[in-house]
């Protein structure tokens, strides 16, 4: 992140932009802005989470298909008391070389009773009908 101008939040903002759009759509822009201003919503690069513990929190790791197994293990071992974690990503859209850390985590942790793995289907694609067709072309 060092090559981008600005402080940490300014550098990370382009990466948070798509997720912020989702939050704005679901919660409303005012709620999101207030949450960010009052640190009720905290945005942080994955690399900055070492040593942290997520207590009394709802944590989302977005685009997890691009994590390595080591990065995802580090993230998952931050889970503390009274914490819910959502890890999302599309393994088919991983752009890292080698096995996705998300795939590794699903393979390792999918049988734990308190871990729920949900795999979306084509009918769950809501972006557009065209995207649904594009995905099908890439899969077959």
pLDDT tens track for 25-51: 999 999 999 999 999 999 988 988 999
Q: Which domains does the chain have, with CATH numbers?
A: 1-43 (no CATH), 45-139 (3.40.50.300)
CA gap 123, 129 in Å, rounded: 10
Q: What is the pLDDT of residue 81?
A: 97
Q: What angle do CA 130, 131, 133 make, to 5 degrees?
A: 65
8 pLDDT band, cuts 50/70/90, is confident
pLDDT tens track for 61-104: 999 999 999 999 999 999 999 999 999 999 888 888 888 999 99
Whether residue 1 has pLDDT greater than 80:
no
List Cβ neighbours of 102 (8 Å cut-off, separation of 6 or more).
64, 65, 67, 72, 87, 89, 91, 94
Write the DSSP string, 87-106: E---GGG--SSSS-HHHHHH
| CA terminus-to-terminus distance, the chain | 37
Q: What is the pLDDT of residue 3?
A: 67
pTM score of the predicted model: 0.84
């Amino acid at each position: 992140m060092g090559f981008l101008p600005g402080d940490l939040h300014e550098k990370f903002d382009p990466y948070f932009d798509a997720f912020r759009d989702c939050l704005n759509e679901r919660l409303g822009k005012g709620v999101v802005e207030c949450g960010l201003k009052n640190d009720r919503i905290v945005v942080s690069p994955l690399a900055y989470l070492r040593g942290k513990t997520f207590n009394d929190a709802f944590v989302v790791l977005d685009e997890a298909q691009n994590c390595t197994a080591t990065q995802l293990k580090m993230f998952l071992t931050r889970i503390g008391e009274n914490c819910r974690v959502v890890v999302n990503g599309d393994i088919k859209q991983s752009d890292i070389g080698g096995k996705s850390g998300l795939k590794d985590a699903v393979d390792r942790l999918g049988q734990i009773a308190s871990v729920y793995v949900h795999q979306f289907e084509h009918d769950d694609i809501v972006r557009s009908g065209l995207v649904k067709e594009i995905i099908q072309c890439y899969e077959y």
